[in-house]
Amino acid sequence: MRLRCAVLDDFQNAATEAADWSPLADDVEVVPFTTHFPDEDALAAALADFDIVVTLRERVPFPASLITRLPRLRLLIASGMRNTVIDYAAAEAHGVTVCGTASSSTPPVELTWALLLGLARGLVQESNALRAGGPWQNTVGADLHGRRLGLLGLGKIGSRVAHVGLAFGMHVTAWSQNLTKEYADEVGVQLGPSKEELLADSDFVSVHLALSDRTRGLLGAPELALLKPTAYLINTSRAAIVDQDALLTALHEGRIAGVGVDVFDTEPLPAGHPMRTAPRLLATPHLGYVSQANYATYYGQAVENIQAYLAGSPVRRLH
């Protein structure tokens, strides 16, 4: 009897097109799910008859409470080689092998700049007005050349965002709790003396930090109040790094020129969520890693992981 493989959150119905699953045809039935399951009960019911689950990034938590409700589960594959929402101890205790895939940091770098440029030049407003027969030229764009880009985080993604900013002729400053002057010099940017000074001095601020106990709520109401009223904030990292209530208040009160976000406290974003209607907000539905090349890697290596597991030699094991 063939094993059953569930592919979660395949919103674009792209998983089976992004990779060649045919090598598994004799052994595995692949079932994509194009809608998100709203809670653990729904997820447990849907996955009860599956032996393999493929999940995207950290969009679906797999705590012990869920894993214990999936008696047939034997292989869990998550895209990327880092996942903080899987209970590895529970997986091991229940005989579930957990594997990952490679993942490129290029797509989130590109999306960061799409959001930043879209905000700076009013692209959504201008495009909508043009298509609707509205006013010709509504906005006066914000310049990038000569302005200061402040980066919270200078890792794989932040450093590449920095290089693009330098290419635009921006002055780039970076800060994080562990960032050294030596590494900032190596990337070619200034080390911010403090988080507060970086926020106060920057015309554009972009968040590129991993979510942890140290970074959760890093930007609250006091920090957002330091931003210039002409400044723009971009967050393609994790929503919880920025206090969402404080961010909404700043947007509604006009204390910041604009915000670009790709991450939210609840995903998918509920229909009535205030982020859907907030002013001065350019938002995308967590598209950071969603690109043709990344999907080809995610699902292509998922197929390889399943083949290796069936052969008794799992690869790219996590934890």
Residues noted as catalytic: 238, 267, 286
**Residue 230's closest CA among 202, 257, 258?**
257
User: Which residue in the block uniquely carries the two structure tokens 């995308």?
Assistant: 284
Which residues, 6 or more positions from 62, have their beta carbon under 8 angstroms from its beta carbon? 55, 76, 85, 86, 87, 91
Distance CA(40)–CA(37), nearest Å, equals 8
Distance CA(30)–CA(154), nearest Å, equals 39
**Residue 194's closest CA among 176, 217, 181?**
176
Rg (Cα) of the chain, in Å, rounded?
22
Distance CA(67)–CA(63), nearest Å, equals 6
Sheet containing 52-55: which strands, arranged edge to edge?
28-32, 3-7, 52-55, 75-78, 97-99
Distance CA(287)–CA(55), nearest Å, equals 15
Distance CA(146)–CA(227), nearest Å, equals 18
Neighbours of 308 (CB within 10 A): 18
**Residue 3's closest CA among 71, 46, 52, 45?**
52
> Residue 254 is encoded by which pair of tokens?
């006009």
Distance CA(8)–CA(144), nearest Å, equals 39
